A and B are shown apart, each in its own frame.
Chain A
Amino acid sequence: MNHLSNITRKSQFQTLLAAAIVVLLSAFTALSAHAATLTLSLERTSTLTTINDAEGRWQLDGGKVYMGESVVGYYTRKKRVSFAVPASVNKAAVEITVIWNGGNYTFTLQGTQSATDGSQVGSVSAASAGFTAMHNSVFSGTTNEFTIYY
């Protein structure tokens, strides 16, 4: 009888232990799982310039960076189209550097842009010391708007 009672107590203890582990792990996971996002919009204010060469073409532009209605900085973007990339792939390399309004806050996004639908994907490839949170962050979006998951 004592044996049965011991087993029951052991079982109840294990149940409590399991519940405690689940709660702790869930809390830890919830804390670390928050993916903050930052969505920025681009407004071109310079002339979109295309430079053709034997290998492909450059496309350059720049303008303002908005967060909502606020101008938080400026961007400079260059796209590289290579004739080596077949039309079926139809993608160009893209690099966007965001220069913040003040101080030395900058970060650069690198990735690809689809010429088919304009979608862009990539990651933050460089960031100033003030933007370490952006290191290794991915982004996705369109020509005029992208979201960084940091």
Chain B
Amino acid sequence: MNNKLGIALALILGFLLWQQEQMRRELQGLRATLTAAHLPVQTGSPAEPRINDRELAQLQREMAKLQMEMVQAAGAPPQQKPVASPVIESAVDAETQRSFSPVIDNTLALGVLDGRAWAEMEADVTKMSKEENRAFWMQVFGGIERGELQVVPPDENSQ
């Protein structure tokens, strides 16, 4: 998904840069024509081409910056060696703070995840879309990691 978006972005940027270059060439050609005709050339006040160059440079800087952000946002590659503790990407913390059904919200607000709590939430959790389910677990895992949710293990008598 990310690779496809990256390729699409690169293609669009490439196309736009190519267009920009075409425009500059067109301007240069027009200036040459005007000069040959001994007409007053607007580049006598070189503000416009300088503005274009500056805009182009700024655009390139913005592109480089955004590409860096994209790489950082992509996170760790799938086969990267895992870290020793539970990790929920901090960048997605804002995404995890969302509301679910009243039963789930109330259960999570209580902060105790025992067998009953899991069972009570199950009916609503199983109805969730994949994305909503992902957000739910991110919130739960984040809560456990931060100590906001206490997981109570069941009675440990062996089967």
B133 touches A132 (CB 8 A): yes
Closest residue of chain B to A147 (Cβ to Cβ) is: B82
User: Measured between alpha carbons, how far is A104 from B78 in the docked complex, in Å?
Assistant: 27
Q: Which of A14-22, A48-56, A90-98 contacts B (4 or more CB under 8 A)?
A: A14-22
Which B residue sits closest to A16, measured CB to CB?
B55
Is A33 a contact of B145 with CB atoms below 8 Å? Answer: no
| B9 part of interface (Cβ distance < 8 Å) | yes
Query: How extensive is the interface on chain B, given as a class?
Result: 35 or more
**Minimum CB distance partner of B134 in chain A:** A133
Interface residues of B in 69-97 (CB under 8 A from A): 69-70, 73-76, 78-89, 91-92, 95
Does A32 contact B78, Cβ atoms closer than 8 Å? no
The answer, yes or no, to whether B114 is at the interface (CB within 8 Å) is yes
Closest-by-CB residue of B relative to A146 is B82
Partner of A102, one of B23, B119, B133, B145: B119
Among A12, A18, A68, A133, contact of B16 (Cβ-Cβ < 8 Å): A18
**Shortest beta-carbon distance from B67 to chain A in Å:** 8
Q: How far is the CB of B52 from chain A (nearest CB, A)?
A: 6
Residue A87 CB within 8 A of the other chain: no
Q: B66 — which chain A residues lie within 8 A by C-beta?
A: 22-23, 26
Main SS class of interface, B: helix
Among the listed A35, A72, A140, which residue makes an inter-chain contact with B144, where contact means beta carbons less than 8 Å apart? A72
Interface residue B20 (Cβ < 8 Å from any Cβ of A): yes
Query: Are A8 and B16 in touch, CB under 8 angstroms?
Result: no
Provide the bound-state CA to CA distance between A105 and B128, in Å: 14
Q: Please determine whether A14 and B70 come into contact, CB atoms closer than 8 angstroms.
A: no
Question: How many positions in chain A have a CB within 8 Å of any CB in the partner chain?
Answer: 58
With A7-B27, A105-B122 known as contacts, the answer to whether A29 contacts B83 (CB < 8 A) is: no
Residues B78 and A131 in contact, CB atoms below 8 Å apart: no
The answer to the question of B32 belonging to the interface, with a C-beta cut-off of 8 Å to chain A, is no
Q: Does the CB pair A133–B85 fall under 8 Å? A: no
A32:B5 contact, CB within 8 angstroms:
yes
Interface residue from B23, B119, B121 paired with A11 (Cβ < 8 Å): B23
Given contacts A33-B73, A133-B130, contact A22 B84 (CB under 8 A): no
- Any A CB within 8 A of the CB of B153: yes
Complex contacts, A3 vs chain B, CB 8 Å: 30
Docked CA distance A135–B115 (Å): 23
**A43 in the interface (beta carbon within 8 A):** no
Residues of chain A lying within 8 A (CB to CB) of residue B137:
36, 38, 131, 133, 150
10 CB-based A-B contacts, threshold 8 Å: A12-B51, A15-B52, A35-B76, A37-B82, A38-B86, A103-B118, A103-B119, A131-B137, A140-B79, A147-B82
Interface residues of A (CB under 8 A from B): 1, 3-5, 7-8, 10-12, 14-15, 17-19, 21-23, 25-26, 28-30, 32-40, 67-68, 70-72, 100-105, 121, 128-133, 135, 138, 140-141, 145-147, 149-150
